[in-house]
Amino acid sequence: MDLNRFIWDDFRFKDLILKPSLNIYNNLAEVENIRGRLSVELEIFPNPLISWEFECLDETELRDLKPDELDTIFFKKPLNNIDANKLRIIKPYSRSLSTWLDVSDRYCAVRVKGYSREFCIGDLNADINALTFYWPNFRLHAICEAHNIPHDDSRWKHAHKDMFMVEEPFLDNWMISISTRDSSFQWLNPIARNTGIMLTTIGKIHGNGKNDLRTIKFVDIKKTIGQLSLLISFANGGYTYPILYEGHRLPPEDGRSSMVFKHFDAKRQITPLEQFSNTWFVRESDLGKLIRCNRNFSSALDNQSWYDSYLFILTNYLLATSTNSWQIAASSIGAVLERLSYLLLVEDENDMKEKANNICLFKPGMRPQSEEIIKRILTKIGLTKDRKINDIDHVASFISVRNDAVHPINKKMSVEERWKCIRYGVQWAEEGILWRLGYAGWYRDRISSSKEENKEYAANPGVFVPRYFVQNMG
């Protein structure tokens, strides 16, 4: 078998869409300076990882090893990288070790099973003209498809009748496209009650047209893709990151592109499908407009304080929107609002006098001023009475419910009333983040029972056009 052809042609990431696993290698290799047979399987379901098995039956490879020495070799953490032709398994770990001894108590055979979260084939530092990446549990197209949004909707650029695609500018004059097919919609549909993790969506970063042969390095764009993934997770209802990447070099004239590298990286958390929650993103929301917000978002995350706080915010937001416990929801979204408030009122504030006034609200040792903090946030983003938005009247009730969850005081309030207050808190957190992003599309309305005076709401009950001030925060 031509091993080079096996690596590049027979092994295709696109074959893993909605597939649980794929065998990617079964041939000779050297592991910890011992030659033998290595088999490697790329698993997606139920949890992405590399499973590998190494077997050596050659006594000449093992005869110089002392008894019990293999335990020391294979149970260090991690093992040395495994190189097998073009395939490199990075930071492999062993799970089990089986050995056989001959009559002289010398090793005559060994079998090791292990796993890894990363591998690469080719040169990750090479220049490329295009990057294809594969996203697991990406629900945003499916949320719209499930509600029969037409393919000719202005939000979508579709290449086929059974696929939704969005294409937007990305980075400096590059383009990004993200597409999901109908077959993935069926797996993502909650009615199907599927669980775990599957590849559902393909993304691509490329130039403007076939003749655009500019180059870029994977290491220069992987960080930005990671930041986009954190933004997508906020809309998706659970953590999702691309885990498979293919770098391409385009020919100077029409022809088949050449593969530069393949890369698998599953070190980050991905939420199983059954644990996803309902976020602000609804059938009327605009994925393209959200992607356009990534420049503002990436700029914010370049601030380490913003980055650390956003990870905290996202974790607690997803918890608050997925739990059935009002106590957990209230405390989680309360924590989100406090951390978000500091970012918007202090970290992002350019007026030094206003910033100094806001800092006083967060000084340690002072009496908690959560109610005033939230009111200032609502005022800053435009949720005020002079704009006929009365949310500020509900702040005290939300704080009461939040305090009751953290410090039980058995106030006389029904569970239904508590959840109503919590929904206000979730709404404010979502709108605060969307305001910071500059998102100008539709989003979920968690609080209105009727909005007869709002024509947009009357036509699309359960959604808002932005109530906050929409501005470019870049």
Angle of the 415-437 helix axis to the 294-301 helix axis, nearest 10: 90
286/288 Cα distance (integer angstroms): 5
Token digits of residue 198: 């599957």
Q: Which residues face 31 on adjacent strands?
A: 34
List pLDDT tens digits, range 378-416.
999 999 999 999 999 999 999 999 999 988 776 788 999
Round to the nearest angstrom and report the end-to-end CA distance of the chain: 54
DSSP helix/strand/coil, 37: strand
Token digits of residue 267: 């070190």
200/178 Cα distance (integer angstroms): 11
Task: Identify whether the C-beta of residue 430 lies closer than 8 Å to the C-beta of residue 437.
Answer: no
Task: Identify whether the C-beta of residue 261 lies closer than 8 Å to the C-beta of residue 120.
Answer: yes
326/323 Cα distance (integer angstroms): 8
438/265 Cα distance (integer angstroms): 31
Place of tokens 């041939």: 27
Place of tokens 């090793």: 107
Enter the DSSP assignment of 47.
S
223/217 Cα distance (integer angstroms): 11
Residue 185's region, left for phi above 0, alpha for psi from -120 to 50, else beta, is: alpha
Task: Identify whether the C-beta of residue 204 lies closer than 8 Å to the C-beta of residue 131.
Answer: yes
List pLDDT tens digits, range 121-162.
999 999 999 999 999 999 988 787 654 455 455 555 554 557
User: What are φ and ψ of residue 268, in 5° steps?
Assistant: -95, 160
The whole model's pTM is what?
0.90
107/473 Cα distance (integer angstroms): 66
Q: Which of 182, 185, 149 is nearest to 273 (CA)?
A: 185
Residues comprising the chain, all counted = 474
Q: Which of 292, 201, 294 is nearest to 243 (CA)?
A: 201
Q: Determine the pLDDT at residue 458.
A: 41
Could you tell me how far CA 466 lies from the centroid of its own chain? 24
293/304 Cα distance (integer angstroms): 19
Enter the DSSP assignment of 81.
P
Task: Identify whether the C-beta of residue 89 lies closer than 8 Å to the C-beta of residue 81.
Answer: yes
Token digits of residue 271: 């939420």
Task: Identify whether the C-beta of residue 141 lies closer than 8 Å to the C-beta of residue 230.
Answer: no
Q: Specify the long-range contacts of residues 377-385, CB closer than 8 Å, at least 24 apart.
A: 377/337, 377/340, 377/341, 377/344, 377/345, 377/428, 377/432, 378/428, 380/344, 380/345, 381/344, 381/431, 381/432, 381/435, 381/468, 381/469, 382/435, 382/467, 382/468, 382/469, 383/428, 383/431, 383/467, 383/468
Q: Determine the pLDDT at residue 5.
A: 47
Token digits of residue 169: 């500018």
Q: Which residues of the chain fall below pLDDT 50?
A: 1-6, 8, 147-148, 151, 159, 450-459, 473-474
